[in-house]
Amino acid sequence: MKVLGDAGLLVASMKAHSATNEYIESFGEHPFNCGFAWVVVKGARGKKAELLKAHGFKKRYDGPGLSLWNPSESYTQDMSAKMAGAEVYAKFLRELGIDAEAFCRLD
């Protein structure tokens, strides 16, 4: 059974970083695909919200919930590579029972 905690969020970060690197290794970086990717968590309150904030989540500027920009912590500007990491991060959080979704947009 997977458990949300510092270890779970560190695993999510490592998985996101690996997914972004694997995307770049497989497809390369696209210079005209500059953009952003992030993960949104809705409904987190109390200790769960505090734990997420301790791992970089911040209050969303465009609605309810918390968001984490660039969960893979990659320096690439390729939106698709960053989205690969964000999707893996969000999927792992959902497996931990957290309502998470990945988003992206071009710059």
Residue 3: per-residue pLDDT:
63
Domain count for the chain: 1
Band the pLDDT of 105: cuts 50, 70, 90: very high
Evaluate whether residue 60 is within a structural domain. Answer: yes
pLDDT in tens, 53-68: 999 999 998 889 999 9
pLDDT in tens, 31-56: 889 999 999 999 989 999 999 999 99
Evaluate whether residue 96 is within a structural domain. Answer: yes
Evaluate whether residue 85 is within a structural domain. Answer: yes
Evaluate whether residue 65 is within a structural domain. Answer: yes
Evaluate whether residue 1 is within a structural domain. Answer: no
Domain that holds residue 41: 6-106
Round to whole Å and give the CA distance between 93 and 66: 13
Question: Cβ of 18: how many Cβ atoms within 10 Å?
Answer: 14
Contact 101, 33 (CB under 8 A): no
Report the length, in residues, of the chain: 107
